[in-house]
């Protein structure tokens, strides 16, 4: 379910794991610049936006995110981390032109980003949720 990310921002390689309350994700702005936003919300963090760091695509289409004024965004990541059923971490690289879809949610001045997830296409997939990877 994408528990870690790796990206470059302002010339610095950065690796964050979701449990870190300071975790941020890069968001490509329409101007082409990249902004860093807080990745989801943890139990101990103040706010009203949903707990967790992921948004199921079917729940977005179902309107469950509408009250937080969702905005789809591109996350320019180099790779992401998933754990297998034995708890081992595996990093998956994105190729040039690929990006992961994110969702920016807002409530007043609170703004956070969530990774959009889908069901994997492979029947043999170990994970029930996978980041939505798009091209272009």
| Structural contact between residues 65 and 40, judged by C-beta atoms closer than 8 angstroms | no
Which is it for strands 34-38 and 133-135: parallel, antiparallel or unpaired? Answer: unpaired
pLDDT in tens, 112-135: 999 999 987 765 556 678 899 999
Q: What is the pLDDT of residue 133?
A: 93
CA 48 to CA 46: how far, in whole Å? 7
Number of structural domains the chain divides into: 1
Mean pLDDT in order along the chain per 10 residues (136 residues): 91 95 94 94 96 97 97 96 84 93 96 93 67 90
10: containing domain: 4-135
pTM (predicted TM-score): 0.92
Structure confidence at residue 126 (pLDDT)? 61
């Amino acid at each position: 379910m994408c528990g870690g990310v790796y990206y470059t921002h302002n010339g610095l390689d950065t690796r964050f794991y979701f449990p870190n309350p300071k975790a941020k994700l890069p968001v490509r702005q329409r101007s082409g610049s990249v902004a860093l936003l807080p990745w989801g919300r943890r139990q101990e963090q103040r706010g009203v936006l949903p707990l967790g760091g992921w948004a199921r695509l079917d729940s977005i289409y179902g309107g469950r995110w509408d009250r937080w004024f969702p905005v789809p965004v591109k996350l320019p990541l180099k790779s992401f981390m998933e754990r297998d059923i034995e708890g081992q971490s595996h990093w998956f690289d994105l190729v040039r032109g690929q990006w992961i879809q994110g969702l920016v949610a807002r409530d007043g001045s609170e703004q956070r980003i969530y990774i959009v997830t889908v069901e994997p296409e492979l029947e043999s997939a170990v994970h029930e949720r996978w980041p939505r990877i798009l091209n272009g």
